[in-house]
DNA sequence: TTTTTATTGTATTTATTTTCACAAAAAATT
DNA sequence: AATTTTTTGTGAAAATAAATACAATAAAAA
């Protein structure tokens, strides 16, 4: 399977914005304010909430704590374990961000690399050889992996990850992975993102 | 303005796949093969081509060189200069990939960071203090910037970039940037990507 | 208390994207 | 030469997503 309903992305963005508003001491918010912060229209906000049965008060807006509880009900607030395959430029950047991911209950519990020299330095996350993938994923109840290896080996690693029980993949390699229908894949292709932006600039 | 028509992303993916087929010595391709490689249906491929006036030969498929020429006509094949703001984990990973971006005519010509210690090491791309943003962007005809600074300062840097003439931004900071209508912004929020994948896994 | 104002919630409309259906053309086969 | 097969190209239909319009309601003002 490929991707992510588009309203889900917006709900996650709302969550982020709401946490920031809360930090600033705001308790109540109108769809207009939240839309402004999240880069969408006020109607879009209300419609999204409406679809998920989230209610505000007419003329009173939404209570931020309530909203956050409702959003946490949708997304769950249990711990999620993640691994990173390929501890090169991107992989390293990601595991070094782990401290911040942990605040969102996203825990990078291991990295994997074929290069033994990567297995020494740990950046706070243990790095294992690829032979350990299956064992580590099974022992740590890992559902999700980030692929940051060269595209030539990405499909191979993807297959290993799926055999080990991975259900979702965030893939940085510039290739479309072939996966069974029930596996969720999301791709980030930076070159294409840049080319897309430049295309739009020149439109 | 926000984002990128969805067919554009597919056309870029086709381009990538076609280059790989070409490298393998393939000259001619059917919509079915290209769709398979690009992760879309054959009809989607043909429809996308149809919209952009790209023709194949009935029962003969498409000539890869011709397709690549047509796609290059759409996207242009001139050199594109890019800068990166914030040479931390992500910024560093990106400028170290410059050699590969250059093959796609995407040239990272400079990085910027507020931290003087980042300005020494260059990773092949010169790193300047933020005060130089305007000068460097103007002197190098830079249209596009990558923002990889903490979210608290992202809007500020964004404003500086736009004043300096930047027209498109790829933003890694987890915040929605406020920009004039004509500026193109594309956001990559890794936490949200991961949370979105996990939501879909558990669906 | 009544009226006005501000805001939510949603049904309806409009726009966009994807899929379906199938004719047209060219190649291959008989 | 006629028939069958394969594949493109695209109009039409279906599905999805976003914007519009407006009723309902609660708060504020008169
Ligand atoms: N860095 C970027 O800005 C950038 C930009 C666009 C795309 N990408 C893509 O992201 C991916 C990672 O990029 P990067 O810059 O981090 O690459 P990198 O070369 O720095 O790192 C790749 C890592 O994968 C490891 N590796 C290689 N083969 C392996 C295998 N079989 N099993 C396990 N590990 C293996 C290498 O040892 C290395 O540490 C690549 O596919 C690249 O094309 C990166
Ligand atoms: N690394 C990741 O995997 C990851 C994941 C999710 C989100 N992000 C986001 O991407 C952005 C960059 O992340 P990172 O991990 O590279 O952060 P980082 O802290 O490693 O790097 C940030 C860099 O920005 C520089 N900086 C700070 N203020 C500046 C200013 N005013 N002007 C210029 N430079 C300034 C710092 O000196 C530092 O070099 C952040 O917004 C972060 O939230 C990163």
- Distance (Å, whole) CA A43 – CA A21: 20
Q: Is A160 helix (H, G, I), strand (E, B) or coil?
A: helix
Residues B39 and B132 in one domain: no
Residue B201 lies in a domain: no
- Residue A3 reports pLDDT greater than 60: no
Find the CB nearest B194 among A37, A93, A106.
A106
Cβ–Cβ under 8 Å, residues A58 and A120? no
> Does residue A39 fall inside a structural domain?
yes
Q: What is the pLDDT of residue B4?
A: 53
Better pLDDT: B17 or A3: B17
Domain end marker among B75, B106, B127:
B75
Chain A hits for B97, CB-CB cut-off 8 Å, are 89, 190
pLDDT score of A133 more than 70 = yes
Which pLDDT does position B3 carry in this prediction?
A: 46
Residue B38 CA to chain centroid, in angstroms? 17
B87 assigned to some structural domain: yes
Q: Name the average pLDDT for chain B.
A: 95
Q: What is the percent of chain B with per-residue pLDDT over 70, rounded to a whole number? A: 97
Q: Please count the structural domains in chain A.
A: 2
The residue from B75, B98, B131 where one domain ends is B75
Q: Are residues B87 and B183 in the same domain?
A: yes
Determine, yes or no, domain membership for A55.
Answer: yes
Give the integer Cα–Cα distance in Å for B112 and B147: 10
Q: Which domain holds residue B66?
A: 5-75
Which residue in the set B37, B76, B176 is minimally distant from A202, CB to CB? B76
Q: Identify whether residues B122 and B22 lie together within a single domain.
A: no
Structural domain contains residue B91 = yes
Q: What is the pLDDT of residues B128-151, one digit of tens each?
A: 999 999 999 999 999 999 999 999
Give the model confidence (pLDDT) of B26-44 as tens digits: 999 999 999 999 999 999 9
Q: What is the pLDDT of residue A7?
A: 87
The stretch B181-185 carries a mean pLDDT of 95
Q: Tell me: do A90 and A173 sit in the same domain.
A: yes
What pLDDT is attached to residue B123? 86
Is residue A200 very low, low, confident or very high in pLDDT (cuts 50, 70, 90)? very high
A34-91 pLDDT per residue, tens? 999 999 999 999 999 999 999 999 999 999 999 999 999 999 999 999 999 999 999 9
Q: Which nucleotides of C are covered by protein (CB under 7 A)?
A: 5-11, 16-21, 24-27
Give me the CATH number covering residue A53: 1.10.10.10
Strand C lies under 7 A from the Cβ of residue A58: yes
In this structure, are B98 and B63 located in the same domain? no
Q: Within this chain, do residues B39 and B68 fall inside the same structural domain, yes or no? A: yes
Here the CATH number for the domain that contains residue A110 is 3.40.50.720
Q: Are A171 and A188 in contact (CB under 8 A)?
A: yes
B133: number of Cβ within 10 Å? 22
By percentage, how much of chain B surpasses pLDDT 90? 92
Spatial distance from the CA of B51 to the C1' of D7 (Å): 18
Contact A105, A78 (CB under 8 A): yes
Determine, for residues A176 and B101 on separate chains, whether the beta-carbon distance falls below 8 Å: no
Residues B165, B2, A21, A170: what is their CA dihedral angle, to the nearest 10 degrees?
-110
- Strand locations in B68-196 (E): 80-85, 106-112, 127-128, 142-147, 168-171, 184-187
d(C-alpha A22, C-alpha A153), whole Å: 44
How far, in Å, is the centroid of ligand 1 from the Cα of B31? 30
Residues A107-127, mean pLDDT to the nearest whole number:
91
Cα–Cα distance for residue pair A192/B3, rounded to 1 Å: 13
pLDDT for the residue numbered A6: 75
Q: Inform me whether the pLDDT recorded for A145 exceeds 70.
A: yes
Alpha-carbon gap, residue B126 to A172, rounded angstroms: 25
Question: For residue B6, is pLDDT > 90?
Answer: no
**Domain end position, chosen among B30, B54, B75:** B75
Co-location of B131 and B189 in the same domain: yes
State which of A89, A127, A130 you would mutate to test the pocket of ligand 1, scoring each by most atoms of that ligand within 8 A of its C-beta.
A89
Helix (H) or strand (E) holding A49: helix A42-51
Same domain membership, residue B146 and residue B104: yes
Give the per-residue pLDDT at A4. Answer: 54
Q: What integer pLDDT is reported at residue B72 of this predicted model?
A: 96
The reply to whether A199 falls in a domain is no
Residues A22 and A114 in one domain: no
What's the pLDDT at B7?
Answer: 87
* Shared domain check, B183 and B161: yes
Query: pTM for the whole thing?
Result: 0.97
pLDDT tens column, A151-191: 999 999 999 999 999 999 999 999 999 999 999 999 999 99
Residue A60: nearest nucleotide (C-alpha to C1'): C7
Residue A153 falls inside a structural domain: yes
Q: Are B60 and B96 part of one and the same domain?
A: no
The answer to whether residue A101 sits within a structural domain is yes
């Amino acid at each position: 399977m490929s991707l992510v309903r588009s309203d889900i992305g917006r709900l996650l963005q709302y969550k982020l914005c709401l946490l920031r508003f809360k930090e600033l001491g705001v308790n109540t918010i109108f769809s207009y304010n939240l839309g402004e912060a999240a880069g969408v229209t006020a109607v879009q906000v209300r419609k999204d909430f409406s679809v998920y049965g989230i209610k505000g008060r007419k003329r009173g807006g939404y209570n931020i704590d309530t909203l956050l509880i409702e959003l946490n009900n949708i997304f769950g607030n249990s711990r999620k374990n993640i691994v990173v395959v390929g501890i090169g430029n991107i992989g390293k950047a990601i595991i070094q961000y782990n401290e911040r991911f942990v605040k969102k209950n996203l825990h990078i519990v291991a990295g994997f690399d074929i290069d033994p020299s990567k297995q020494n330095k740990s950046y706070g996350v243990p790095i294992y050889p690829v032979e350990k993938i299956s064992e580590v994923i099974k022992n740590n109840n890992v559902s999700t992996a980030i692929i940051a290896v060269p595209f030539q080996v990405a499909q191979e690693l993807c297959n290993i990850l799926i055999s080990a029980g991975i259900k979702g993949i965030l893939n940085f390699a510039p290739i479309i992975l072939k996966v069974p229908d029930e596996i969720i894949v999301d791709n980030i292709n930076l070159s294409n993102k840049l080319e897309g932006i430049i295309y739009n600039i020149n439109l």
